Structure 1
Amino acid sequence: MRKARPSSESRQKDISRPLALAMDLLCSTYSDSDEDGQPEPFSKRPRLANPRPAINYQRKLQPVNEMREASIPGRYVSKRERALMASLPASAPEPNVEQDIPSSTLGSLSQLDLPLNVMSLLRQKTKGHSRLVGTPEKLPISLNGHRKAVNALQWSTNHAHLLASAGMDHTVHIWNVWNKNQKIARALNFHKAAVKDVKWSKMGWLILSCGYDLTSRLIDVEKGSEVSVFVEDQVLNVVKFHPKNPNLFLSGGEKGHLRLWDIRANQVVHEYIQRLGPILDVEFSDDGREFVSSSDVSCRNVSENSIVVWDLAREVPLSNQIYGEAYTCPCIRRHPFEPCFVAQSNGNYIAIFSWSPPFRLDKFRRYEGHGVSGFPIKCSFSSDGHTLGTGSADGSIYLYNYRSTSLVKKIEAYSSACTDVAFHPTISNVVASCSWNGDVSVFE
C-alpha cells in the first residue's frame, strides 16, 4: 500500500526548522554582546570565526635598561622616548665587548724609534744627497699581518720609513718598517672586499686604495679616517695619482673603463672610452700629458688594445698597436729618468718601449729568466734607475741590470708567487716584496 505523501505545508515546516536553528547558531556564534546584553543583528557578511584581537595603540614605554640596549640600527624612536633617554644618566659600557672599528691604531708613525743608522740614511735625502749602494745582502725583515695574498706595495716618498700594502683580506696595512716595538702602524679596514692597489699621495698623510667593492677610497693615515669615497660600476684593479697634480687620479677596472677623478669635487673630469678588456695597470708620462694603459686580451684572438697610449686632455688614443703579441701585461712602469717604459708580459719576460711616438718596442732587449704564469706579477725600478726588480711565480725576486738586461741577483724569498717588488725611494739597496700567501718582507 503506497504511503501518503506529506503536504507542502508540512514540508516547508520541516525545512524551515533546521534553517532557523542554523541561523540562531550563527547569531550566537558571531554576535558580540554589548553592555545591555542585546545581540548584534546578523550581518550578510559574517566576521571570521577567530576574530583579530583589538589593538591597543597606546605605546608601552620600555624599561630603562631595555631602552639603553636599543641595538637595532635605524629603529624609530619617538620624541617621548628620546626625551626620556636624554634624562637618564649615562651608563658605563659593558667590558669585553668587541666593536667593529674600521681602523686600528696599533703603532707609531714617528721616526723616533728607528735605529740611528737608518735615521742617518733617511736624513741624507732631505739634504739633497742620495744613498746608492749595492744589491740587498742582509736577512729580510718579516712583516706579518695580512691573512691572505698581498697584491701591491708602495713606499711613501714624504715619510720614507713607511710602507703601504694592499691585501685580499680587505685591509690596507701601513708598516713602520724599522720600528723597534710595533711594526704595524695602521690596519685600515674601510674596504668591504679585497683590495687590489694602494698609492701614497704627495700631499701629507693621504693614501688612495681600490678594490673589489667597486670603490676607490682616500684615507688619512695619521688620523686613521676616511676622507672620500669614489664609487664606480666596476671592480677596480688600479689607481694612479697624476705626477704634477695630486688632486687628480686615474682609475681602471674590470669593465675596461678608464676615468680621471678630481678629489676636490669628487667627480669624473675625463673618461676614456675604447673597446678594451679589463684594465690591469696604468702609468703616466713624466709630464703627465699622456698615460699608457694595459688591458686583458686573453679572451680575444687579436692583441690590439693590449697596450694603449692616451692623450690625457683630449681623451683619444695616440697608439693602440705598439705591442703585437697576444700576451696579458699585468704591470707597466716608467723609467725614473729616461723616456721609456717597461711592460711585464705573461710571455715570461719584460718588454721595453720608447715613450716618444711611435712608441716602438725594443726588439733587441728584454728581461728574461723569471716566470709570470698568470699571476699579477709587478715590477719596479730602483731610485737611481740602474736596477729593475720583479717578482716571479717561483717565489723569487729577480734583479736585472737596466742597461745590459742581465740578471744581477736572484733572491729566493717565498714558497709561493712573489707578486710585487718595491725599491725604497731613498736607499736603493732596500727593496720590499710581498707574496701570494700574505707575507711582506724588506731586504737590505
Structure 2
Amino acid sequence: MAGSQRGAGRLPTGFAAETFISEHSFRQGRLALETGATSKKRKREAKGNAGILDGPDAYKGPWAKFDHERPDAAEDEEFGEDEEVEIVYEEDDIEEMPAPAPKKLAGTDYQDESIGERSEFVGSQEFDYQGRTYMHVPTDLDIKLTGDPGEAKNYIPKKLLHTYKYHTKSITQTRFFPDSGHLLLSASADSKIALWDVYHQRELLRTYSGHTKSVNDIDFTPDGTQFVSASYDRYMKLWDTETGKCLNKFTSGKTPHVVRVNPGSPHEFLAGMSDKKILQYDVRSGEMVQEYDHHLGPVNTITFCDENRRFVTTSDDKSLRAWEYGIPVPIKFIAEPYMFAMVRSAMHPSGKYIAFQSSDNQITVYSSSDRFRQNRKKSYRGHNVAGYAPDVAISPDGQFVSSGDSGGYVCFWDWKTCKMWHKIQASEAPVLSVQWHPRESSKVVTGDLNGVLKFWD
C-alpha cells in the first residue's frame, strides 16, 4: 500500500523484504508506468491561436492537456496525426456493444421518456360529400352554430342525452370547440386525448396518443385548429386538431399543471408548473420567452382578463396573484389567513369576475378589474370537493354557476342569489369536469373519475 510498510513474507518466487514507499513515490511510479515515460518530461498540447474559437487550432491556453491525457495520443504516435484508421467490427462484437444511453434534455436532469406521437381517425366518415372534414361547422341543424352567439337564455339541464365511452381512467378536462361547439375534446388520466362529434352520430372521431402519463390539461387556440396539452410526463405538446400531427413539444423538466393559450396572441401560451413558476412559450420558435416566479407552491389556475392584457393565477400556497402579460412582477398579491388553495377557475362572461373552486367546499368570486378584490357577497356552497379538484363553469349568459362534486353530482347555483337551483346525480364516481355548450341553451357535458363522459340537456 502507498504510504505504508509492506510486511516481509515468503512468496512462490522468493523472499519479499520489508520496505516503505511514500505516497509521492508511489504516485510517481504509477504515473511513469501508465505513460511509459519515466525519463521523459510530459509535454502539453500547443496553446493554439487566441483568435480562433473552434477547431484543431482553437485557443487552449493554460487548459491545454498533456499528451498522455489526449485520447488520440497513442494513435498519433503510432500512425501519425493525418492518417485515418479504419476500425472493422466483427458481428459478435457488434452484438455485445452496449446500447447508447438515453438522450437527456438540455438544461434538465429529466430523462427523455417521450414516445412517438400518433393519431388515428376512428369515425365512420372522414370526409363529407363535398370533401370537408369534421372541422367544418355543420349547417344542417336546428340551431345556428356560426355568426354572433346572440342573447340566448340558458336553462338547467334535466335529462341525459348521450354517454361517450372510450377513456379507461379519470377525465381530467373537457373543452368544446371554440364558438361553434360542434366538437368536444377530452383529456384523461389514461394518457389519451379524444375528439368527439357533438351532433349527428355523436361518435368518437379521432384519438391523440403521445403522452406517457396522465394528461392534466388541454386548451384550444381561439380558432380551434390547434390545441395544447400538458401531462405528468413533463411535456407540453401542440397538436393539429384536424390531422392529429404533433407540431411541437415543450418541456422545462418539471410537471405542468395547467396550460392556457392567450386568446389575444394565439401563438403564445402560459403553463403553470409544479416548481411554482409560470412559463410563457412561443410556439413559432419553440422557446420559453418569459418566466413568472413569485408563487410559493405549485400553480393551479391561470385566467386571462382585461382583454387578455392581464392574467390571474392561484397556487397551493393559498394565494392569488395578478400579472401584466409579459411583465414578470405581480401587480396584485392576495393572501388572507382564511383563504384555501383554489384549484379551478372560470371567467364570468361579463369579463368582470372570476369564479374559483376553493378547497374548503365553496366557490369564491374575485373581481377581475384593477382591484382584484374578493366579492364577499358571492359564495356558492352545498357541494363537496374535498380531495378532488372538480371543474367550475359558468353558463354563456352568466346566469348559472355549475360545479362537479365528489359524490357524483353536478350542482347548479343562481349567479345573483347564490342559491343552489338543482343537483343532478350524474355518476356514481366523483364528477371532475363540467362544461357548458357555447351555443345551446341547456347543454352541459360532464366527465367523471371512471372516464365516462355524459351529455345533458
- Report the TM-score, using the length of structure 1 for normalisation: 0.72
Instruction: Tell me, yes or no, if the aligned pair for 2:393 and 2:401 is still in contact at 8 Å.
Output: yes
- Residue 241 of structure 1 aligns to which amino acid in structure 2? V
Equivalent residue, structure 2, for 1:221: 241
| 1:395–1:416 CA contact under 8 A, matched in 2 | yes
Q: Distance in 2 between matches of 1:248 and 1:102?
A: 24
Map Cα deviations across residues 105-150 of structure 1 (whole Å, 9 max, x no partner): 1015678999xx9943442542654543422122231000000011
CA distance in 2, matches of 1:293, 1:255: 14
SS at structure 1 position matched to 2:385: coil
Q: Distance in 2 between matches of 1:59 and 1:430?
A: 68
2:169 paired with 1:120: no
Distance apart, 1:197 and its partner CA:
0.4
> Do residues 236 (structure 1) and 249 (structure 2) align?
no
Paired residue for 1:176? 197
Query: Which one-letter code corresponds to 2:118 in the other structure?
Result: P
Question: How far 1:359 sits from its partner (Å)?
Answer: 1.5
Aligned residues: 347
What one-letter code is carried by the residue in structure 2 that aligns with 1:152? Q
Amino acid at match of 1:309: A
| Partner residue in 1 for 2:368 | 355
The offset of 1:232, in angstroms, is 1.6
Match status 1:142 vs 2:160: no
Instruction: Give structure 2 stretches of 5+ with no counterpart.
Output: 1-87, 92-98, 101-115
Name the counterpart of 1:106. 122
Indicate the percent of aligned positions where both proteins have the same amino acid.
Answer: 25
Alignment of 1:261 onto 2:261? no
Deviations 1:293-317 (A, max 9, x none): 11113xxxxx4xx211112232111
> Between Structure 1 and Structure 2, whose CA radius of gyration is higher?
1
AA at the equivalent of 1:215:
Y
Q: Distance in 1 between matches of 2:337 and 2:331?
A: 16
Distance 1:190 1:124, change over 3 A: closer
Residues 1:412 and 1:237: Cα distance change in structure 2 (over 3 Å): same
Give structure 1 stretches of 5+ with no counterpart.
1-56, 61-72, 75-99, 298-302
Structure 1 segment 202-221 matched on structure 2, within 5 A:
202-221=222-241
Between the aligned partners of 2:153 and 2:146, the Cα distance in structure 1 is: 11
2:334 aligned counterpart, secondary structure = coil
Q: What amino acid maps onto 2:212 in structure 1?
A: K
CA distance in 2, matches of 1:368, 1:230: 38
Say if 1:199 and 1:207, in contact at 8 Å, map to a contact too: yes
Q: Using the TM superposition, give the Cα deviation of residue 364 of structure 1 relative to its aligned residue in structure 2, in angstroms.
A: 2.1
The equivalent position to 1:430 in structure 2, one of 443, 446, 454, is 443
Q: What CA distance in whole angstroms lies between the structure 2 residues aligned with 1:184 and 1:243?
A: 27
Give the 5 Å matches for 1:7-86. Answer: none
Q: How many angstroms apart in 1 are the aligned matches of 2:309 and 2:254?
A: 25
Secondary structure, in 3 states, of the residue corresponding to 2:342? coil
Task: Describe the shift of the 1:155–1:204 C-alpha distance in structure 2 as closer, same or farther (beyond 3 A).
Answer: closer
Query: Structure 1 266/101 Cα, relative in aligned 2: closer, same or farther at 3 Å?
Result: closer
How far off its partner does 1:290 sit? 1.2
Distance 1:213-1:139 versus aligned 2 partners, 3 A rule? same
TM-score under structure 2 normalisation? Answer: 0.70
**Over residues 270-293 of structure 1, what are the superposed CA-to-partner deviations in whole Å (9 max), with x where a residue is unaligned?**
110114201111101041121111
**Could you give the per-residue CA deviations for residues 69-108 of structure 1, whole angstroms, max 9, x where no partner exists?**
xxxx99xxxxxxxxxxxxxxxxxxxxxxxxx872221015
